[in-house]
Structure 1
Amino acid sequence: MRLHLITVGEPKLSYARAGWEEYEKRLRRYHKLQVTRVTGKTKEAESSAVLRAAGRHSLILLDPRGEQFSSEELSRFLDAQALQAGELAFAIGGPEGHTEALRAGAARLWSLGRLTLPHDLAMVVVLEALYRAATISAGEPYHRA
Structure 2
Amino acid sequence: MRLHLITVGEPRLKYAQLGWDEYEKRLRRYHKVQVSRVSGKTQQAESEAVLRAAGRAPLVLLDPRGQEFTSEGLSAWLDAQAVSGTGELAFAIGGPEGHTDALRAQAARLWSFGGLTLPHDLAMVVLLEALYRASTISAGEPYHRG
TM-score range, shorter chain: over 0.9
Deviation at 1:95, TM superposition (A): 1.0
User: In the aligned structure 2, how far is the partner of 1:83 from the partner of 1:17?
Assistant: 32
Look up the match of 1:70. Answer: 70
SS at match of 1:80: helix
Q: 2:56 corresponds to which residue?
A: 56
Once the two structures are superposed, the pairs formed by residues 102-141 of structure 1 within 5 Å of their partners are 102-141=103-142
1:36 aligns with 2:62: no
Question: 1:23 matched to which residue of 2?
Answer: 23
TM-score, normalised by the number of residues in structure 2: 0.99
Structure 2 unaligned segments of length 5 or more: list them: none
Aligned to 1:100: 101
CA RMSD of aligned residues (A): 0.4
Tell me the CA shift for residue 20 of structure 1.
0.2
Secondary structure of 1:141's counterpart equals coil
Work out the percentage of aligned pairs sharing the same amino acid. Answer: 79
Question: Please, which runs of 5 or more residues in structure 1 have no aligned partner?
Answer: none
Q: Which aligned segments of 4 or more residues in structure 1 are displaced greater than 6 angstroms?
A: none
Aligned to 1:144: 145
Rounded Cα–Cα distance in structure 1 between residues aligned with 2:82 and 2:7: 22
Amino acid at match of 1:137: S
Q: Which amino acid is the alignment partner of residue 134 of structure 2?
A: A
Q: How many residues align?
A: 145
Corresponding residue of 1:13: 13
List per-residue Cα deviations over 1:80-117 (Å, max 9, x = no partner).
Answer: 00122110000011111000000000000000110011
In structure 2, distance between residues paired with 1:57 and 1:15: 30
For 2:4 and 2:56, the matched residues in 1 are separated by: 12
The whole-number CA distance in structure 1 between the counterparts of 2:128 and 2:114 is 15
Distance 1:67 1:23 in 2: 23
Q: Counterpart of 1:86?
A: 87
